[in-house]
């Protein structure tokens, strides 16, 4: 199936609604709407957003999760040609405020009457029988453009300030067509929505479904912990999640062999997928094609993919026990750049092409993130140009012809699929009066999960005092599991703090 390459997220949804009006578009909690019903609801909600704002909003913040208002609100914002800015009710209010300010949000949609106010402008609260309170449909002609920004997501910043990543509709056209074709998505398919909207794989779930007449099925948080039950109860055909879901389900003994026979496709992304995790899932979903996808937000959801062979005996053996991330999508260029600026088979993965974004909301964040080729790869001057390569910061190696993700070349890590920079946590801790200096390390725990450990010099205070300080500023997944006071940090021969030694000492502690 092809989609209009000059279209937008809204027109791809609208066109599917016109072709398949009676197909089920979304199931969330007790609500199940056909495409015709969802399209009508979106038009009325768009009119309400204009009423609240007094004009067409420039950017709409979505302060809700896993409810019909947030999904209808996403489409209503697109219907108005506005930029979608997903927020998260579990984030500290100050973080949501900073995201709204950076993205220019002028109206926030929420489903919680007690939600904290995060902008000075209007707030639309959709609670109770909210659909009965909507005005007549917005009937102004849609005039969104393919080159408009569709949404802005925020990734962790080492200075303590989140980095806004604007993604245009044009970045999504080739990606969605690639996914629709690769995963054979048609009306009748049922796609899971395990990701929060602040995490860009959610865009795959929504718009691969809504561009084809398929159904988006939204689990609640507890459902994700028991994937086999959710898959069976909701007849899921396409599963997409972070690999840590496998570890959690395995710990709860929720992945019995053959327990998900009807899943056709299983895709994992957001963090390294180990071969052990993949085997557990494959045994539970024996009729599913299993893939490992990779990509930062700046490259529009995923940019490489690897399909595991159907025969487990043919599975690869990699140097670090992870499933390869495969090869770049056909419409993208990818290269591994070594420290001396030449292309090699072990280096930083750099990518360019239609999925690559055009630069951060704050151009200062573009510094050192792009390369140009001038005999050898060198840091590109601003402004960002189409021929420039985006530096992912990931070290990748070619093994048996496939790309294997080895780790970060900087201090970024992924926790439960969210990309964070350890420097952001350190920045918050350094602001505390008791702390002189601090190091945050990310180490694997039992089951393959990553735990954060903070070590600091300064006045000894209760660990809860410091973790509470982090929790007030940063999302829950960025709060360290342990906070420990030390007399001093060890240094290496270069006089730098010896992080490897600290990590080794932590691994030797019970429970680390």
Q: How many alpha carbons lie under 13 Å from residue 296 in its C-beta half-sphere?
A: 27
Sign, Cα dihedral of 232, 236, 239, 242 = negative
Phi-psi region of 21 (alpha: psi -120 to 50; beta: other; left: phi over 0): alpha
- Contact yes or no for 72/41 (Cβ under 8 A): yes
Q: Report pLDDT digits (tens) over 412-464.
A: 788 888 878 787 898 899 889 999 888 899 998 776 788 999 999 889 999 99
Q: SS3 sequence, 164-184? A: EEEEEHHHHHHHHHHHHHHCC
Residue 181: CB partners within 8 Å, gap ≥ 6?
1
b/e 183-205 (16+ beta carbons within 10 angstroms → b):
bebebebbbbbbbbbbbbbbbbb
Which alpha helices (DSSP H) does 380-449 contain, by range? 422-430
What percent of the chain lies above the pLDDT cut of 70?
Answer: 96
The pLDDT of residue 1 = 66
Which residues of the chain fall short of a pLDDT of 50? 494-495, 510-512
The pLDDT of residue 157 = 63
The pLDDT of residue 142 = 97
Chain centre to alpha carbon of residue 380: 26
Tokens linked to 198: 């602040």
The pLDDT of residue 158 = 55
Phi-psi region of 213 (alpha: psi -120 to 50; beta: other; left: phi over 0): left
Domains in the chain with CATH codes: 332-408 (2.30.38.10), 412-508 (3.30.300.30)
Tokens linked to 130: 């909210």
Distance CA 506, CA 237 (A): 42
Distance CA 241, CA 141 (A): 36
The pLDDT of residue 139 = 94
The pLDDT of residue 512 = 44
How does DSSP classify residue 158? T
How does DSSP classify residue 274? B
For tokens 């949000």, name the residue.
Answer: 105
Tokens linked to 149: 């920004």
The pLDDT of residue 244 = 85
The pLDDT of residue 23 = 98
The pLDDT of residue 510 = 47
Q: Report pLDDT digits (tens) over 356-372.
A: 999 999 999 999 999 99
């Amino acid at each position: 199936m092809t989609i209009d390459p000059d279209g937008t997220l809204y027109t791809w949804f609208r066109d599917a609604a016109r072709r398949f009006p009676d197909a089920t578009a979304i199931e969330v909690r007790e609500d199940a709407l056909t495409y015709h019903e969802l399209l009508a609801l979106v038009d009325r909600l768009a009119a309400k957003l204009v009423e609240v704002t007094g004009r067409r909003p420039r950017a709409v913040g979505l302060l809700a999760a896993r409810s019909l208002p947030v999904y209808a609100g996403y489409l209503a914002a697109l219907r108005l040609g506005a930029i979608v800015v997903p927020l998260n009710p579990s984030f500290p209010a100050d973080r949501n405020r900073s995201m709204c300010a950076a993205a220019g949000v002028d109206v926030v949609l929420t489903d919680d009457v007690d939600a904290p106010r995060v902008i000075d402008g209007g707030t639309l609260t959709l609670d109770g029988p909210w659909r009965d309170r909507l005005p007549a449909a917005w009937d102004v002609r849609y005039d969104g453009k393919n080159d408009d920004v569709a949404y802005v997501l925020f990734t962790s910043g080492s200075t303590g300030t989140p980095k806004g990543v604007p993604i245009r509709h044009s970045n999504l056209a080739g990606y969605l067509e690639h996914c629709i074709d690769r995963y054979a998505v048609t009306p009748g398919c049922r796609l899971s929505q395990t990701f929060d909207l602040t995490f860009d794989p959610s865009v795959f779930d929504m718009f691969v479904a809504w561009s084809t007449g398929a159904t988006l099925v939204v689990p609640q948080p507890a459902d994700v912990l028991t994937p086999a039950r959710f898959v069976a109860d909701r007849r899921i055909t396409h599963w997409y999640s972070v690999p840590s879901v496998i570890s959690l389900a395995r710990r709860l003994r929720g992945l019995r062999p053959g327990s998900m026979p009807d899943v056709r496709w299983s895709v994992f992304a957001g963090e390294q997928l180990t071969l052990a995790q993949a085997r557990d899932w494959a045994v539970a979903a024996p009729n599913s094609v299993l893939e490992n996808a990779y990509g930062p937000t700046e490259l529009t959801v995923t940019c490489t993919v690897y399909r595991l062979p159907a025969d487990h005996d043919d599975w690869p053996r990699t140097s670090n026990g992870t499933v390869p991330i495969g090869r770049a999508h056909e419409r993208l260029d990818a290269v591994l750049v070594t420290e001396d600026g030449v292309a090699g088979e072990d280096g930083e993965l750099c990518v360019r092409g239609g999925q690559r974004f055009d630069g951060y909301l704050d151009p200062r964040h573009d510094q050192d993130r792009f390369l140009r080729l001038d005999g050898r790869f060198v840091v590109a001057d601003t402004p960002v140009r189409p021929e420039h390569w985006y530096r992912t910061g990931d070290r990748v190696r070619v093994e048996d012809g496939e790309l294997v993700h080895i780790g970060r070349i900087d201090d970024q890590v992924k926790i439960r699929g969210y990309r964070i920079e350890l420097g952001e946590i350190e920045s918050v801790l350094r602001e505390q009066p008791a702390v002189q200096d601090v190091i945050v390390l990310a180490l694997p725990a039992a089951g393959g999960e990553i735990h954060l450990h903070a070590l600091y010099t300064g006045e000894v205070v209760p660990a809860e005092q410091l973790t509470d300080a982090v929790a007030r500023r940063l999302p829950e997944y960025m709060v360290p599991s342990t906070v420990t006071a030390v007399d001093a940090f060890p240094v290496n021969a270069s006089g730098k703090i010896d992080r490897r030694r600290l990590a080794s000492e932590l691994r030797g502690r019970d429970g680390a």
